[in-house]
Structure formats: structure tokens, C-alpha cells
Homo-oligomer: A and B are copies of this chain.
């Protein structure tokens, strides 16, 4: 068949583009990166990017969607492997941190959501809310099964997600620190939440 490989090729390039864009945005800030910057990471011309997205707004939108996908992935894997609420949470945190610390990480700080168009903005916000809710559900499960101490899941969830999302602000690629982060940070975040 002809469409399948074509789709794949196209998708692969598009994916590379999203990674390059996320990398640029993280490194140089949003207003500091032009389409040319992104294109040059790929060895392309800025105009070539328009073969993959309608405009810059869509590129940003897709970066956010990709970040959400990666987060969801980390969470699903944790749900599959974990044995109780606390275990799922710890695994999810670890998976997520591993992703943030890696070089193909998602776009870190969602500062440009206001400049998305209404449909895209609403979708990104919805998906983000959904992820928060899923994390709170893990906490609730843990409380129910006794592995997590009773707490305000809304606030606790936000506190923990904030710590995670803030990592790129102070972590800058130090290998040793990276390993420590993956191993220790989940425990630090879970500290004081262990159940009976």
C-alpha cells in the first residue's frame, strides 16, 4: 500500500519538528525563537515547516498536545505496573521526571496558551484539566486503599505537579543531578503522604 509508508514518513518528520520546536522554546524562550531557528535545527528552511503546519500558532499548539500525550503515556504505564495508589503515583512521578530530564523532553512551561486561538486553547486546557483530574484520581485511589494518607487531593495534586513542572527551571542537564532527580525526587514529593 502507498499511503501507509507515506504517512509514516510524514509523521516522522513532523515529530522531529515538534521535538526541535520544544527544544528551541525551552532553550531560547518563545519570543526568542523564530521559525528559522526551529528549521535550522532540522537542517531545513523556515518555509519548509509550512508543509507540516498551517502557521506558528499551530506549531505551538501541537507542542502542547505532544507534551500532554507524553504525560498521559507516563501515567498509563504507571497505572499498568503499580500495585496500589502510592505505588502508581511514585511510578508516574518517576516516568514523568525521566521524560523531563531527557533531551527529547516535551515543552516545559505552558506560558503561551493565552496566544493560542480559542479552539486550540480550549482543547489544550481541557486536556490539561483531564490530566490533573487523572492524577487526583490516583491520589484518591491511594487514600481508598490505605497506601496514601488522607489529604486534600486537589491541593496536593497541584502542589506535586507544580514541583514536577518547575524542574526545567533549575535542572540544566547535569547528569549526576539527573539520576538523583529520578531516584529521589518522587520520594521527596511523596514524603508525608505515606498511609498506614
Contact = CB atoms under 8 A, between A and B. Distances in A.
Interface of A: 27-32, 109-115, 132, 151-152, 155-156, 158-167, 169-170, 180-181, 184-185, 188-189, 191-193
A128 to B, nearest CB: 9
Given A29-B112, A29-B115, A191-B193, 20 more contacts: A29-B114, A30-B111, A31-B31, A31-B115, A32-B114, A109-B109, A109-B111, A110-B169, A132-B170, A152-B188, A155-B184, A156-B188, A158-B166, A158-B167, A162-B163, A162-B164, A162-B166, A162-B167, A165-B166, A191-B192
Given A30-B31, A191-B193, A184 B109 contact: no
A24 B162 CA distance: 22
Contacts of A193: 191-192
Contacts of A158: 163, 166-167, 170
A52 to B, nearest CB: 21
A30 B188 CA distance: 33
Given A155-B184, A158-B170, A159-B185, A28 B114 contact: yes
Contacts of A170: 132, 158
30 contacts: A27-B114, A29-B30, A29-B113, A29-B114, A30-B112, A32-B114, A32-B115, A109-B109, A111-B111, A151-B188, A152-B184, A155-B181, A155-B185, A155-B188, A156-B188, A158-B163, A158-B166, A159-B163, A159-B185, A159-B189, A162-B163, A162-B164, A162-B165, A162-B169, A163-B163, A163-B166, A165-B169, A191-B191, A191-B192, A192-B193
The 6 closest A-B pairs by CB, nearest first: A192-B192, A162-B166, A191-B192, A32-B115, A162-B163, A29-B114
